[in-house]
Amino acid sequence: QNGRLLMRRVNVPELDERFADLAQTFNDHQEGYETMVERIRNLQKGYDCTRCDHMSLAECVGKIMQEWIKGYDFSLSVVPVSLESETEEEPLPPGLQHTQNEVRYISDGAKATISKSTTLQELTSWLLRSQSTMIEQVHEAAENYQEQGRLKENLKENMIEVRRAQRLIQEYKQRAGEVLT
């Protein structure tokens, strides 16, 4: 199950803030991940990489080489942006420039996905470890029995979302790692 993370209020300000932080950070993370996946799919489609049903760029790199680098040795290198403008080479053809930019955006997206995963994993782990304490806090925050039931149900739903986020974070990190290899 994919989709945005939605958190319910549990009427404990510190917990509501943590859940809101997790939801905001995860949703930003997921949006970046989905943009990276969309760019990969567009690149695969643009170079007719039909055998690619995953996020590998190997087939696409081969096709890019066939189309643009005829008769040349080919290697991928990362050039810092500050040095990129200092080269005196002739400009790339627009199609190759577009492809180069797409690969750069994909690479940056993969790195950002991996980077944010660590913070998100720490937050989800903390929330899962603190579940029994949170149950007590929610119980104390409720003004009556009916509200107590509602808030406990909200906490239960939030913890389901935390577990879902934890699974997706790991999946996104793994897939982003595949892009970089």
Could you tell me the end-to-end alpha-carbon distance of the chain, in angstroms, rounded to an integer?
Answer: 26
According to the model, what pLDDT value does residue 80 have? 63
pLDDT category at 47 given cuts 50, 70, 90 is: confident
Average pLDDT over residues 46-55: 71
* CA R_g for the chain: 22
8 A C-beta contact, residue 161 and residue 5: yes
pLDDT tens column, 130-177: 999 999 999 999 999 999 999 999 999 999 999 999 999 999 999 999
Residue 131 confidence (pLDDT) = 96
Angle ∠(107,37,162) on CA atoms, nearest 5: 105
Identify which of 125, 72, 136, 68 has the alpha carbon closest to the alpha carbon of residue 97: 68
Q: Tell me what pLDDT residue 85 has.
A: 56
Note the pLDDT of residue 28: 94
On the question of pLDDT at 22 being above 80, the answer is: yes
pTM surpassing 0.95? no
Mean of the pLDDT values across residues 42-60?
Answer: 75
Per-residue pLDDT reduced to its tens digit, 58-106? 777 777 777 777 665 556 566 665 555 555 567 777 888 888 888 889 9
Are 46 and 122 in contact, with CB atoms under 8 Å apart?
no
CA 138, 169, 62: angle at the middle one, nearest 5?
170
What CA–CA distance (Å, rounded) separates 92 from 114?
30
